[in-house]
Amino acid sequence: MSEDIAHRFMEASAFRAMGRTDQVGGLPQPPLTDGVAAGAITIDLPEPDSVPVKDISLTRAFLDRRSVRQYAKDPLTLGELSYLLWVTQGIQRVTPRPATLRAVPSAGSRHPFETYLLCNKVDGLKPGLYKYAALDHRLVQVDLSPGVVDRFTEAVCGQPVSIVKDNAVTFIWVAVAYRSVWRYGARAYRFMHLDAGHVCQNLYLAVEAIDSGCCAIGGYHDDVINHALGIDGRERFVIYAAAVGKVASGS
């Protein structure tokens, strides 16, 4: 039964069951990020500190934060997208260890996520699928083919399909498991889910500064969405997603 599997997972990922991790065993640390493949088409992003955002208090952002499922037709600017990427996964600096320091916490500074973006309405970007190159603060073009949005709407369950079709952009966070497993073994899977929550909460708060809304998406068909991204669902898998768009009147 699935409930029994969940109990077994909690037992197998307890600290007492960690055993000897690959880090302790002296195996080399995995790369901090995927990087940019040779020949990839990339798009420059504005520097985050050049993007005008509302000066709102953190308390105000906490109080105003809501899940928004209906969006206006207005697009995000490329600067606004740059700002949201920076506050969710942008790299402030690389330490000598090496590790990346970002605007979100991550167990052991492992930061195991790669951010994919399904863009519908972003000024300066053709609709399609992109990937965030965090070390370079650039976008990498992945798939602009017709029907790319439809492949992802098929994966959504528990939310209306319009949440992906009518928004400005869907953030899709992919866990690269070994970045965390190298250090924490099976317990890394607990940490990765906690880390995903940190990232999405930053997004929820940050959209308040650009007159936008956000809705986390945890309901999706795993095999469908992993296949749409061309990842195996084991070593790399979608761990969380979120829709973002300008707030429609009455939302």
31: in domain: yes
149: in domain: yes
Domain CATH for 215: 3.40.109.10
pLDDT at 250 over 80: no
CB 170 within 8 A of CB 211: no
- Residue 248: band (very low, low, confident or very high) from pLDDT cuts 50, 70, 90: confident
- Residue 189: band (very low, low, confident or very high) from pLDDT cuts 50, 70, 90: very high
CB 45 within 8 A of CB 122: no
* Parent domain of 177: 2-246
pLDDT tens-digit readout, 140-175: 999 999 889 999 999 998 788 889 999 999 999 999
pLDDT average, residue stretch 69-91: 96
**What is the domain count for the chain?**
1
pLDDT at 136 over 60: yes
pLDDT tens-digit readout, 3-54: 799 999 899 899 888 889 999 999 999 999 999 999 999 999 999 989 989 9
Neighbour tally for 150: CB within 10 Å:
12
Angle between helices 188-206 and 78-89 (to 10 degrees): 140
251: in domain: no
CB 45 within 8 A of CB 139: yes
136: in domain: yes
What pLDDT, on a 0 to 100 scale, did the predictor assign at position 162? Answer: 85
Q: What is the pTM of this model?
A: 0.95
